């Protein structure tokens, strides 16, 4: 028995060493996974910041066409159509503001108008609070969430408070900045509008599942905007 004792002790030592290495490797593996996940998230953040910086570099800041006197009749005609089509729900001052600001971003004002109509269910209610989701609520006429609105406001050099999301002019300005950013990012309105509706991550998931970005949201808004354009140019 005494002769076997050294071997038993050696075996125990080997078992302890093996167990120690197993525990160390387990925690090392877990830390590696955490670091890989953190690295992946950081890379995504860097990519987002790079795309935002590229957008800000190219962001329009001035009118590049006619002066206000020449532009105003066309803006008023556009605004009047929005007011009439909405049966007065979209008031004239909002419509004039949207028509004017859309020119700055070279975005079809009817595209934004139809987006606002879809987002509010045709009410254009600036005090609207959307249904609860796992990300929270969406607020205002443009239905922005509090995890998205701050960095969009920052890109546009705008102040940010949650209460501002209920200001129709602020909401429209924010929607123009975001749409311009998304169109700059993707280069087409199918992806830009689907990303507005589902989020940029949601857009990628939609494309993986469907093989394209032509969501009902993007198609409906573009088709209705074209209808307004056709009426506007009709004699």
The structure tokens listed for 62 are 């001035």
b/e burial code for range 178-193 (CB count within 10 A of at least 16 → b): bbbbbbbbbeebbbbb
User: Residues for the chain: how many in total?
Assistant: 235
Cα atoms found within 13 Å of the Cα of residue 207, Cβ hemisphere only: 15
CA–CA dist 72, 66 (Å, integer): 10
E-assigned strands of 78-184? 138-139, 144-145
Q: How much is the pLDDT for 64?
A: 52
CA–CA dist 220, 118 (Å, integer): 9
Q: How much is the pLDDT for 61?
A: 47
For residues 5-31, average pLDDT: 68
| DSSP classification of residue 132 | P
Residue 7, pLDDT > 50, answer yes
Q: How much is the pLDDT for 230?
A: 80
Q: How much is the pLDDT for 17?
A: 78
Q: Which of 165, 131, 132 minimizes the C-alpha distance to 148?
A: 165
Minimum mean pLDDT among 7-11, 129-133, 169-173, 210-214: which range? 7-11
Cβ proximity of 195 and 126 under 8 Å: no
Distances (CA, A) of 40 to 30, 34, 36, 47, 87: 15, 10, 6, 11, 49
Residue 168, pLDDT > 80, answer yes
Q: Which of 134, 155, 133, 153 minimizes the C-alpha distance to 142?
A: 153
Confidence at 19, pLDDT banded by 50, 70, 90: confident
Q: Output the CA torsion sign for 100, 118, 48, 163.
A: positive
Percentage of the residues of the chain whose pLDDT score is greater than 90: 62
Q: How much is the pLDDT for 69?
A: 58
CA–CA dist 216, 194 (Å, integer): 9
Distances (CA, A) of 200 to 154, 197, 206: 18, 9, 10
* Ramachandran angles phi, psi of 138, nearest 5°: -105, 145
Q: How much is the pLDDT for 74?
A: 83
DSSP of 31-64: HHHHHHHHHHHHHHHHHHHHHHHHHHHH---S--
The structure tokens listed for 134 are 């796992």
Q: How much is the pLDDT for 169?
A: 97
Mean pLDDT of the chain: 84
Q: How much is the pLDDT for 88?
A: 96
For residues 172-201, average pLDDT: 96
| Higher-confidence position of 21 and 233 | 21
Residue 81, pLDDT > 60, answer yes
Taking every pair of C-alpha atoms in the chain, what is the biggest distance, in angstroms? 112
Query: If DSSP codes are grouped into helix, strand and coil, which group holds residue 139?
Result: strand
Q: How much is the pLDDT for 187?
A: 95
pLDDT tens sequence across 98-148: 999 999 899 999 999 999 999 999 999 999 999 988 888 999 999 999 999
Q: How much is the pLDDT for 157?
A: 92
Q: How much is the pLDDT for 18?
A: 75
């Amino acid at each position: 028995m005494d002769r076997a004792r050294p071997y038993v002790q050696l075996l125990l030592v080997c078992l302890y060493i093996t167990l120690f290495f197993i525990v160390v490797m387990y925690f090392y593996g877990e830390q590696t996974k955490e670091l890989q996940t953190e690295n992946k998230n950081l890379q995504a953040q860097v990519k987002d910041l790079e795309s935002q910086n590229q957008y800000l570099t190219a962001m329009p800041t001035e009118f590049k066409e006619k002066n206000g006197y020449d532009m105003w009749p066309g803006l008023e005609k556009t605004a009047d159509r929005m007011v009439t089509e909405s049966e007065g729900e979209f008031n004239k001052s909002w419509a004039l503001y949207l028509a004017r600001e859309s020119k700055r971003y070279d975005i079809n004002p009817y595209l934004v108008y139809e987006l606002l109509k879809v987002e509010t269910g045709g009410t254009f209610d600036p005090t609207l609070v959307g249904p609860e989701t796992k990300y929270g609520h969406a607020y205002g006429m443009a239905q922005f969430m509090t995890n998205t609105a701050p960095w969009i406001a920052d890109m546009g050099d705008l102040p940010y408070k949650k209460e501002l999301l209920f200001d129709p002019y602020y909401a429209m300005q924010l929607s123009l900045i975001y749409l311009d950013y998304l169109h700059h990012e993707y280069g087409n309105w199918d992806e830009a509008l689907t990303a507005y509706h589902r989020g940029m991550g949601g857009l990628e998931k939609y494309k993986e599942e469907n093989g394209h970005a032509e969501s009902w949201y993007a198609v409906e808004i573009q088709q209705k905007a074209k209808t307004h354009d056709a009426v506007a140019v009709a004699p």
